[in-house]
Amino acid sequence: MIGFPFSEPPSKEAREAAGRAPAPAGFRGRAGVLVLRRGPEHQALYAFEPLLSAPARWEDLHGALWPERLEPEMPKVELVNGRGEKASLTELSRRFLSGRSQPLSARHAGQWREAFCRAISSPTVRLLLERNVAYRGWEPEGSAEWWVGAPPPQEVRWPGAFYPPARTAAPLVRFLLEGCGSGPERPLCLGPMDLPVLYEDQDLVVVNKPSGLPSVPGTREVWSAKRLLEQRFGSLFAVHRLDMETSGILLFARNQEAASALGRAFRERRVRKRYRALLEGVPAQSRGTVALPLAADAMDLPRHMVLPPAAGGKEAATRFETASVLKCADGRRRALVDLLPETGRTHQLRIHCAHPAGLGCPIEGDSIYGSQGSLALRSGRPLCLHMAEIEFEHPAEGRLMHFAAEPGFGRL
């Protein structure tokens, strides 16, 4: 049975088949494999999506990365799912856009049409379509995508690392998997977790969030820190967030007045935050500042990328200082660093650590930007990024509040 490729790391069979991929000479881009089984027989299908063009430097990237596409411009492509049912690309796009709980603006609908058109070239989409048309007697057993060659300079990709397909291909993949005996889409958080409360009063709740627990509810999150705390404290307001994989100090307001005051403090950068991270290696400099503008990758959320302001990037700066260098059990040296963000962009610390123009050392356990890619999900080690310290003025009383909680990975 094939798992949903956006929530499951590649199987052993898919990884082994990827090692035998007949990549074209000089190929640069995404590669994919689909492993099929029919009784005792196995075979692997391969597909390659070349990187068509990219500037030599991220600073040279200009113009719109995500053009809007009108419906009449969409190519006449027909897809077939595992039950033999057919649907055109235009029809699937209409189904997706009409099935959303909130309607999209004309601009965002045009971007989603562009995403559907790009998804046709996704290795996973092409391979599932090939299976459904030409190999219907074969059961899909596993799939994988990985990066080959140097990545585009605005992205953090590692040659040979496995990644899920581009997220905007998910609607097409869901349709193609219908009737293929695929496993269910696994929720991001399977159950409630222990959530230590560090402080509470009539205005605030401060907790030490574990890795793997979302801060707030989302489309695929069954549990979140907010939901767990509201069972005890009643309605709460999220005034900042941590990535699901990031652990550490998380702050909630218990009333609208406190939420407004804390929101202003975060926007005006009057909240001091210190994160601690364990890197995959040791950066060349022991201290300094990384200033790389960031933007969301609209075609592959939740990924973000480095973009100049002219192409839509927003200012992002992080001060860093190496706290210590550890020699770990596998013999490798890894740095424990303190990260002090001066801005609060999504995935800022993770990209500033991993990108070659930043520290060039990904955070240990990062399945999105780390050198192991999605295989980090199999390691059992969470993302080694922890909000260790926060300092701010109490929203009602004005007194200085300070909380610290060091991570467990600093004792490796």
Active site residues: 243
- Angle formed by the axes of helices 123-134 and 170-177, nearest 10°: 20
Q: Where are the beta strands (DSSP E) in 214-341?
A: 237-238, 247-253, 272-278, 287-291, 294-296, 304-306, 317-327, 333-341
Alpha carbon distance 76, 69 (integer Å): 14
Q: How far is CA 383 from CA 162, 346, 379, in A?
A: 17, 15, 10
149-186 core/surface letters (b: 16 or more CB in 10 A; e: else): eebbbbbbbbeebbbbbbbbbbbbbbbbbeebebeeee
Q: Cα 365 from chain centroid?
A: 13
**What is the DSSP-derived secondary structure letter of residue 412?**
-
Q: Which amino acid is at 217?
A: P
How many angstroms separate the most distant Cα atoms in the chain?
Answer: 71
Contacts of 164 (CB under 8 A, 6+ apart): 5, 6, 7, 145, 374
The answer to whether the bond into 302 is cis (omega within 30° of 0) is yes
Supply angle C-alpha 238, 239, 242, rounded to 5: 75
Q: Cα 383 from chain centroid?
A: 12
Contacts of 120 (CB under 8 A, 6+ apart): 75, 77, 89, 126, 172
Contacts of 374 (CB under 8 A, 6+ apart): 9, 10, 161, 162, 163, 164, 367
Residues in the chain: 412
Contacts of 42 (CB under 8 A, 6+ apart): 13, 35, 36, 141
Residue whose token pair is 């969030």: 209
